[in-house]
Structure 1
Amino acid sequence: MRVDNQYIVFNEFGTPEDVLRVEQRPVTPPGQGEVLVRMIARPINPSDLIPIRGAYSHRISLPCIPGYEGVGIVEDVGMDVAPELIGKRVLPLRGEGTWQQFVKASASWAVVIPDDVTDDQAAQLYINPVTAWLICRNILSLRPGAVLVVNASGSALGRILAQLCAFLGIRLIAVTRNDHHTKELLKLGAESVINTGETPLKQAVMELTGGLGADAAVDMIGGSPGTELACCVRTDGMFVTVGLLSDVPLDWAEIRRSTNASATMFHLRQWNQTVSAQVWQDTFRELISLIQAKKLALQPPGPRFELQKASAAVRAAEASGRNLGKYFLM
């Protein structure tokens, strides 16, 4: 019996609610080494929407199915894949876009989800948690007691970094533009919070570090806020940029003039290109163990939309910001 796969696709770059389309095609069996996954839940992330608008048009082929994250149930397996995977909940990552009913992915990269991790938690386990974990453990390699300063700390990534810093014994200085997230960040593990709407950033960092500066900094904003953040790092420290929320590049010339700290960019995509399947699985296993131990909490679920209503879901998610929790396509 023929089974159709309903999916969301964009055939041109533009505003998501204008260019997203609902289409369908027959489901085809998984190939050798693949799993066929019936999707349960997919979060709507800013990283899902940026490619639709054309920011990465140089490396995206059209038509394209969006969606980097999500969780589902293995319905079928291809040759050389253990049949015991059928019926398991997995993250079908690094394969097709997740904004469709059925996704095919390499079995070696599919992450099996334990029963005590919810669908909402599992669906969010990739982009922000892995980025935060790699920055803390691999890129910065900070020891307990080290001082890390992070801007845009009210973001999903910022809140995860606060929790990981608490777990790893890193002293976090969280930077925000207002006091909306101050209590939450302190509760999550930040040692202090700087509201740049009231206090000059560098002055505050120097006061909190006894004039030494931070051991490291993570920038998500770019532009002048990111450039200013880099200047808060001590001479032999490290500055990492992971995003451009301001859509304005950093002033690298000013950073070189103002600090001798090491500066680098981190892109999860580049790590994906070099990591082994074993390290990939181990990384998720560590994050899952933190969720199970209640050391790491992800965004609470917000409104849920049916897959075919993706355009309306995106419009609602962008209008509400983070006020109503994480939006999901079900």
Structure 2
Amino acid sequence: MKVRTPHMQGLQFQSFGEAKDVLQLVELQEPPAPAKSEVQIEMAYAPINPNDFLRIHSYLPNPPALPAIAGNEGLGHVVAVGDDVDTVKPGDRVILPLYSGTWRNRLNVPAQGLFALPAEADPQQLAMLRINPSTAALLLSEFVTLKPGDWVVQNAANSGVGRAVIAIAKHRGFKTVNLVRRPELIGDLLEAGGDIVEVDAPDGSMISDLHSGIEPKLAIDGVSASGTARLARWLAPGATLVGYAMMGGGRTPAADLDAIASSGINLQSFYLGRKENAQKMQDVLQTSAQLIAKGKLVQPIAATYPLKDYLQALAHARNGGKVQLDLRAR
């Protein structure tokens, strides 16, 4: 017998634009019983990520048909399964497929790729599993063949992806150089497992000369603009630099790429939603879930807001810090 949700609500947008302007809290019909190969999920938590804002603005590939429910990832538990579903059962906690529209109380999704998450893991940490840890894991495996003891350098090291890079690299035996904007972050990231943590000075001054014996084969760029050129100074000739975000505000690398060109550095880009990444996600998610369960992958959460307070949540997320929506139906 299906348990009815007291109030079915979701954050919907009928046009693309700034999230605070186009999102509306709307009443939704309860989803029907799941069809064959579907499951019904009751949502628990969902983070507000930069790529949520990008999707609502239609900056990402394959924008959704409108009207659409926002939310690119999140955690819920299975309340009903359709015919032929034997990979999960009612009561199992699961991570939603990418771009499911998770900012609502309940929804139906395909069962393919779903698996039961560790019962002992923190639910709010699991809610952030789909995007940041998956991005970090694939950045560390898909562009350069690394072996234990190899070095990786990254900027935006205090971001969700950056912290996941530290945890997953440590799990695989790699060493990390981590660049941050503020000196007060250094101790926290060293405690989180970073091998070297330095300030990424915007004036171009670098600490790399103090570590001249370290020549990473891979650089992970979440800043872009002038941050790309600064990051490249750490790399060995012929190394690879992969961009995955533009937190510095610029949408292209710095214009002066002489150092990159003369060193033969290979520039690449990464987007999690590419079709070729889908078949790799199961192993990536299961490994990251185990790291969360063991307390080895932890992302600080600045605040959690109920769905009705979504405007405050959006403003908080825009100002920095990881923010989550509490989607449990009241």
Q: TM-score, normalised by structure 1?
A: 0.88
Amino acid at match of 1:281: Q
Alignment partner, residue 66 of structure 1:
70
Deviation of the 1:67 alpha carbon: 0.8
Matched residues in 2 for 1:126 and 1:41: separation?
Answer: 13
Q: Of the candidates 10, 16, 25, which is equivalent to residue 13 of structure 2?
A: 10
Amino acid at match of 1:39: M
3-state SS of 1:85 partner: coil
Amino acid at match of 2:241: F
Report 1:149-298 matches (<5 A): 149-197=153-201, 200=204, 203-210=206-213, 213-248=215-250, 249-251=252-254, 254=257, 257-270=261-274, 272-276=275-279, 279-298=280-299
CA 1:273–1:169 in structure 2 vs 1: closer, same or farther (change >3 Å)? closer
Matched residues in 1 for 2:170 and 2:86: separation?
Answer: 39
Q: Does 1:314 align with 2:314?
A: yes
Report 1:53-132 matches (<5 A): 53-56=57-60, 59-82=63-86, 85-94=89-98, 96-132=100-136
* Greater alpha carbon shift after TM alignment, 183-192 vs 126-135: 183-192
CA 1:198–1:53 in structure 2 vs 1: closer, same or farther (change >3 Å)? closer
Q: Across the two proteins, how many residue pairs are aligned to each other?
A: 321
**Aligned-pair identity (%):** 26
3-state SS of 2:183 partner: coil
CA 1:83–1:113 in structure 2 vs 1: closer, same or farther (change >3 Å)? closer
Matched residues in 2 for 1:77 and 1:219: separation?
Answer: 41
Q: Does 1:136 align with 2:140?
A: yes
8 Å Cα contact 2:71-2:99 kept in structure 1? no
Deviations for 1:150-171, whole angstroms, at most 9, x for unmatched residues? 1111212112212222222222
Alignment partner, residue 328 of structure 1:
325
Deviation of the 1:226 alpha carbon: 1.1
Q: Which runs of 5+ in 1 are unaligned?
A: none
Deviation of the 1:231 alpha carbon: 4.0
Q: Does 1:41 align with 2:35?
A: no
* Greater alpha carbon shift after TM alignment, 125-134 vs 75-84: 75-84
8 Å Cα contact 1:10-1:62 kept in structure 2? yes
Deviation of the 1:40 alpha carbon: 1.1
8 Å Cα contact 2:238-2:263 kept in structure 1? no
Matched residues in 1 for 2:66 and 2:23: separation?
Answer: 12
CA 1:160–1:88 in structure 2 vs 1: closer, same or farther (change >3 Å)? same
Deviation of the 1:257 alpha carbon: 2.6
8 Å Cα contact 1:224-1:250 kept in structure 2? yes
Matched residues in 2 for 1:13 and 1:316: separation?
Answer: 21
CA 1:186–1:9 in structure 2 vs 1: closer, same or farther (change >3 Å)? same
**Runs ≥4 in structure 1, deviation > 4 angstroms?**
1-4, 198-201
Deviation of the 1:251 alpha carbon: 4.0
8 Å Cα contact 2:45-2:124 kept in structure 1? yes
CA 1:198–1:8 in structure 2 vs 1: closer, same or farther (change >3 Å)? closer
Matched residues in 1 for 2:316 and 2:210: separation?
Answer: 41
Deviation of the 1:111 alpha carbon: 3.0
Q: Which runs of 5+ in 2 are unaligned?
A: none
Matched residues in 2 for 1:163 and 1:87: separation?
Answer: 29
Name the structure with the higher helix share. 1
Deviation of the 1:81 alpha carbon: 1.4
Q: TM-score, normalised by structure 2?
A: 0.88
CA 1:193–1:80 in structure 2 vs 1: closer, same or farther (change >3 Å)? same
